[in-house]
């Protein structure tokens, strides 16, 4: 660890946030680094090479282990879980006639995690994907995938919406902002939201677009936000995929926050990437990122967003001695570093 990283870890020395405050861009009341409010969650990671350290363990989890994992995450103070997918590779994670079920040790992991979330006060956003080839460029316009997707929303509502932890929906076919949302994505999100609001009027809706660095939050972008029927937009910071640095992201989020304030419709959150690739991006295993870098990421977005979610706890963090361990050995190091920092912050307030 270099001297600069040491100061970030200990919370001392000059920081990005302090520099912005001196420049008059951040009100002093926004100076605190926000803790992590939630994380993405999955039963199986879509990319086998990326999830090599946790996919096999998760496939073997008992229902009791899924409960232990929810309890463990709740113990960090995180209150939101975003379930990435309810189906993947033409197999489902819940009982449905749409696809055959995944062969997991826990026969109904959806019920197991939602029941646990009820018990530990965690709120779930339920992902309405993937009901076709998740990486297909035509997934948004494919009428077969759309019909399956809407049927799944109805089935998921019938089976699981009685759970208090069923907090909202996540539309997981991610938008690429380049430099605006595509008409196809807006139609996709609005179609899903329209049905969700009929079936679950109190549920909130979430998207997590990428291309954050490319967004041009001008009048056209504001009009798109006004037309986009979602409650929360959690922009990916794209640090883990090596497209941005914590030094660059404050400007992106500051400008996007202004656009959201003008549109006055959806809330802006952050999707902070706490991973790093072992080798080539998208072609090697995901490993926990270094905590000094992650702390800078949290600091960079904190003034501009309401909540910070991360991608993701599973695989990247494990409580030492966890009965539901999934990930590399380094995941306990990141967990311990974050919890030590979080406790230090709580002592100061």
Domain 33-348 belongs in CATH node 3.20.20.80: yes
| Among 122, 123, 143, 120, CA closest to 132 | 143
Q: Where are the beta strands (DSSP E) in 86-231?
A: 87-88, 91-92, 123-127, 166-170, 204-207
The per-residue pLDDT for range 306-322, each reduced to its tens digit, is 999 999 999 999 999 99
What is the pLDDT averaged over residues 103-123?
Answer: 97
Element housing 309 (H / E): strand 308-311
What is the pLDDT averaged over residues 188-202?
Answer: 98
Domain extent listing, the chain: 33-348
What is the pLDDT averaged over residues 233-257?
Answer: 98
Integer Cα distance of 65 and 214 in angstroms:
40
Share of the chain above pLDDT 70, in %: 91
Burial tier of 22 (Cβ tally within 10 Å: 0-12, 13-18, 19+):
exposed
Integer Cα distance of 248 and 63 in angstroms:
42
The per-residue pLDDT for range 43-92, each reduced to its tens digit, is 999 999 999 999 999 999 999 999 999 999 999 999 999 999 999 999 99
Share of the chain above pLDDT 90, in %: 87
Neighbouring residues of 343: CB distance < 8 A, sequence distance ≥ 6: none
Integer Cα distance of 145 and 152 in angstroms:
10
What pTM was computed for the model? 0.91
Confidence check: pLDDT of 33 > 70: yes
What is the pLDDT averaged over residues 255-269?
Answer: 98
Confidence check: pLDDT of 280 > 90: yes
Confidence check: pLDDT of 257 > 90: yes
* pLDDT at 81 (0 to 100): 98
């Amino acid at each position: 660890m270099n001297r600069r990283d040491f100061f970030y870890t200990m919370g001392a020395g000059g920081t990005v946030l302090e520099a912005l405050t001196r420049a008059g861009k951040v009100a002093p009341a926004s100076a605190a680094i926000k803790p992590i409010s939630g994380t993405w969650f999955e039963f199986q990671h879509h990319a086998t090479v990326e999830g090599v350290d946790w996919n096999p363990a998760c496939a073997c989890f008992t229902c009791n282990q899924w409960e232990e994992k929810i309890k463990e995450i709740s113990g960090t103070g995180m209150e939101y879980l975003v379930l990435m997918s309810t189906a993947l590779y033409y197999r489902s994670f819940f009982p449905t006639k749409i696809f055959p079920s995944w062969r997991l040790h826990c026969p109904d992991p959806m019920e197991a995690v939602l029941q646990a979330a009820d018990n530990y006060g965690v709120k779930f956003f339920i992902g309405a994907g993937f009901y076709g080839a998740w990486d297909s460029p035509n997934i948004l316009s494919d009428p077969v995938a759309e019909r399956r997707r809407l049927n799944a929303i109805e089935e998921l509502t019938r089976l699981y919406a009685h759970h208090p932890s069923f907090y909202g929906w996540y539309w997981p076919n991610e938008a690429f902002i380049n430099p605006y949302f595509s008409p196809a994505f807006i139609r996709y999100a609005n179609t899903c939201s329209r049905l969700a609001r009929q079936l679950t009027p109190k549920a909130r809706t979430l998207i997590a677009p990428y291309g954050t660095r490319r967004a041009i939050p001008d009048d056209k972008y504001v009009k798109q936000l006004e037309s986009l029927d979602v409650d929360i937009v959690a922009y990916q910071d794209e640090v883990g995929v090596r497209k941005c640095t914590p030094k660059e992201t404050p400007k992106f989020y500051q400008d996007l926050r202004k656009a959201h304030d003008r549109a006055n419709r959806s809330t802006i959150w952050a999707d902070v990437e706490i991973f790093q690739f072992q080798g080539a991006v998208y072609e090697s295993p995901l490993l926990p990122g270094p905590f000094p870098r992650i702390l800078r990421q949290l600091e960079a977005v904190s003034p501009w967003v309401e909540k910070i979610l991360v991608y993701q706890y599973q695989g990247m963090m494990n409580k030492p001695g966890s009965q539901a361990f999934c990930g590399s050995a380094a995941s306990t190091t990141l967990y311990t570093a974050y919890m030590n920092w979080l406790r230090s912050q709580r002592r100061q307030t």
